[in-house]
Chain A
Amino acid sequence: MTIVGLTGDEAVAYAVKQSKVDVVAAYPITPQTIMVERFSKYVADGEVQTEYVCVESEHSALSACVGASLTGARVFTATASQGLALMHEMLYIASGLRCPIVMGVANRALSAPINIHGDQSDMMGSRDSGWIQVYVENAQEAYDWTLQAFKLAEDGDVQLPVSVNLDGFILSHSMEGVDVLEDAVVSRFLQLRKPVFRLDPDKPITVGALCLTDYYYEFKRQQVEAMLQVPKVLDNVNREFGSFTGRNYGVLEAFGMEDAEAALLCLGSTAGTAKAVAKKLREQGKKVGVIKLWLYRPFPIEAVVAATKRLKALAVLDKAVSFGAPYGALCSDVISVLHAQHVRPHVFNVVYGLGGRDIEPSDIESVFEEALRIAETGAVKESVMFLGVRE
């Protein structure tokens, strides 16, 4: 076991270094910048053979990544917030052309007003772009999931891009002890990419042709099918990773859910606080639990149904706002999944942390208390709560 002190961003950069990536094309943006800075240093010091392209924008970053990925190379990029928004057009093209690019996203609020701190509005705004989306709780998970992301993305049954999301500043800039693997172990877990198709002068193909009413729909249907393959492939990836590391991942983590009556479902670093609060409340005899989704796209339907079936009340935490929608994006997904169940918990939505507004253990405790009250009474007072805002 080798424990090193790494920030979340550094943990991602370290994993990318060990993944023997051929091409990195990226543009700096707070709070992702540390990823590209550290990686540039690996290049400058000859620790990697990667071609690092300092592009002139995020749009060109992902464009260059798409070109590189189509040659059969292993490709990584990183961004956040406005950078992800600028990439928006290319997100759909990267998935549509089936480019297994891995992208580190240090989640940050979107302008306006401009704000550099962490919320998940950026990736939530791109949730339908055809990318597999993973959210991590800490630097260890950022490292572990980056390694697993390449294996998942490049699998022949998947061939889709993956974003590894870590909360801006809370994870991107906080140093933690990270158990890193030996390079040789990473090489055994993650072999070189074997592309299913590629731009090869010996076997010419046309990529990115114009598809009209007669073919476009079938291409999109195939993308849906590729997404459906993810849980099965990811399960194998997680198992194999577990066999090398003893760290076992899945589509979600359930804490205290074996007997919980009230629970909180969230993404990312907030799960750490939520688990600590739940532990304290459980010690007081309160039946609470936490569901943390590692995988957000494709949405882990069966796992969420299974995890929530004994619950009486569920608080879904959205660190992003969906203007004009009935709920935040995550809560909308949860409700739509549970809608088909005859027995289902009362669900309420908690919007929190916009623009990096801190969420304290006492805030989480208040959410649990409300969930417990609903579990007991069955009465949801507010379907969408805005936690920690000055009204």
Chain B
Amino acid sequence: MVVLKDLSTEELFASGHRLCAGCGEGIINRMTLKALRGPTIIVAATGCSEVATTIYPYTSWCLPWVHVAFENAAAVASGIEVAYKAMAKRGAWNKHVDVIAMAGDGGTYDIGIQALSGALERGHDFLYICLDNEAYMNTGIQRSGATPRGADTTTSPAGSVIPGKPEWKKDLISICAAHGIEYVATASPAYWNDYITKVRKGIEVNGPAVIDVLSPCPLGWRHDSALSIQLVRLAVETRYFPVYEVEKGKYKLNFTVPKPKPVEEFLKAQGRFAHLFKPTYRKDVIDEIQKNVDNNWNRIQKLSTQN
């Protein structure tokens, strides 16, 4: 795992962008660029990171960066990757270029999953990073396939009958791993060295790699922006968000969390789950969520011990 002195002091992600205070995406972008090994092109899907970091005529990106649309970051990355290969064949280019696609959970779990699946199946050499803040935050907090059960969003509002989103979060890691690609991982920016190490691993893999990184959203999760990193640490400490990797098909839990805190601690720290606590304490829903957390953890732990 990387240590601080390994990291470049060069800042390729400039300050002055317009992401919210406490937004995970700015922190993650900066850390991502600390993991580069050489010439790199970033492909961004439409989303918060894109709209807040490249408001024309300004940009935060000190390396080639391109945004095309919402659902196609993986397809655009495919085109860039093969174009450099083709130009190298005819002698018009002589360096290896790493390609990193970045998209939110809406652009990954939902509208972009077809393009992602296609690119993984074709085996393009690129890293795909999902900035997973568990809803469509850019358009004003609508539920996505990554939104957890019970979360209050503007399209899964907590009502008098339905207590927030009824469905569970989609299992993106299993979907990606099922493509037989060499590297799939989750990460929390609370563990910067784990995340940066994973980005570098994903870049170094010869073929596609996917990282789903949990990105705290003070606006959508409704928490104190000063506590963003603590919250995504709590997500790991409660086993709500298992940090693990699937390397050449082998599962490994990176943090074993021997003494997990109850998921309730993670839930009650956020306004998106406030309706589970007030006016009525919804023990039934919280218990269901805890049970799901336990089952998911046991599943991954079992897969990890099978290695």
Contacts and interface: CB of A to CB of B under 8 A. Distances in A.
B68 A67 contact: yes
Given A67-B75, A206-B61, A207-B66, A201 B114 contact: no
Interface stretch (B19-27, B77-85, B200-208, B219-227): B77-85
A375 interface: no
B70 to A, nearest CB: 9
Given A22-B83, A67-B66, A60 B61 contact: no
A211 B56 contact: yes
Interface in A206-259: 206-212, 215
A53 interface: yes
A349 to B, nearest CB: 36
A65 B59 CA distance: 24
Contact of A209 (B55, B71, B114, B121): B55
A97 B65 CA distance: 13
Nearest to A219: B56
B57 to A, nearest CB: 7
Contacts of B90: 20, 22, 49, 192
Contact of B51 (A72, A89, A210): A210
Given A60-B115, A206-B61, A51 B71 contact: no
Contacts of A68: 79-80, 82-83, 86
B86 A64 contact: no
A216 B62 CA distance: 23
B64 A204 contact: yes
Interface stretch (B35-43, B166-174, B238-246): B35-43
A61 B122 CA distance: 13
B67 A63 contact: no
B54 interface: yes
A59 interface: yes
A199 B71 contact: no
A85 to B, nearest CB: 16
Q: Interface size bucket, A side?
A: 35 or more
Contacts of A61: 75
Interface string A34-55: 0000000000000001110111
Contact of B40 (A64, A67, A72, A201): A201
Interface residues of B, number: 48
B76 A192 contact: no
A204 B122 CA distance: 28
B68 A204 contact: no
Interface string A66-93: 1111111101000000000000011001
B121 A60 contact: no
Nearest to A207: B66
Contact of A204 (B65, B77, B83, B118): B65
Interface string B262-294: 000000000000000000000000000000000
B97 A55 contact: no
Interface in B94-144: 95, 97, 114-115, 117-119, 121-122
B84 A25 contact: no
Nearest to B41: A199
A20 B87 CA distance: 11
Most-contacted residue by chain B among A50, A57, A199, A206 (CB, 10 A): A206
A63 B116 CA distance: 12
B69 interface: yes
A67 B89 contact: no
Nearest to A50: B86
B62 to A, nearest CB: 6
B118 A60 contact: yes
Contacts of A73: 83, 86-87
A72 B88 CA distance: 12
Contacts of A72: 83, 87, 92
A56 interface: yes
A201 B64 contact: yes
Contacts of B97: 201
B78 A204 contact: no
Contact of B63 (A55, A69, A204, A212): A204
A182 interface: no
Contacts of A302: none
A68 B68 CA distance: 12
A91 to B, nearest CB: 11
A215 B80 contact: no
Nearest to B85: A51
A202 B66 CA distance: 15
A22 to B, nearest CB: 4
Nearest to B58: A209
B182 interface: no
A382 interface: no
B110 to A, nearest CB: 15
A200 interface: yes
A15 interface: no
Contact of B87 (A53, A63, A71, A97): A71
B56 A25 contact: no
Contact of A56 (B67, B68, B84, B114): B114
29 contacts: A23-B79, A25-B78, A49-B89, A53-B79, A55-B78, A56-B121, A59-B75, A59-B115, A60-B75, A60-B118, A63-B115, A64-B79, A64-B82, A65-B79, A66-B68, A67-B75, A67-B78, A67-B79, A75-B83, A201-B63, A204-B62, A204-B64, A206-B61, A207-B66, A208-B44, A208-B67, A209-B54, A209-B56, A209-B57
Interface of B: 39-41, 43-44, 50-51, 54-57, 59, 61-69, 71-72, 74-80, 82-87, 89-90, 92, 95, 97, 114-115, 117-119, 121-122
Considering the complex of A and B, which 10 residue pairs feature the smallest CB-CB distances, nearest first?
A67-B79, A56-B118, A201-B39, A64-B79, A208-B67, A63-B75, A60-B75, A22-B86, A63-B72, A68-B83
Interface of A: 20, 22-23, 25, 49-51, 53-57, 59-61, 63-73, 75, 89-90, 93, 97, 192, 199-202, 204-212, 215
Given A56-B114, A93-B69, A206-B54, 19 more contacts: A20-B90, A50-B86, A55-B118, A57-B114, A59-B71, A59-B72, A67-B43, A67-B66, A67-B83, A68-B80, A71-B80, A71-B83, A72-B83, A192-B90, A201-B97, A204-B63, A206-B61, A207-B65, A209-B54
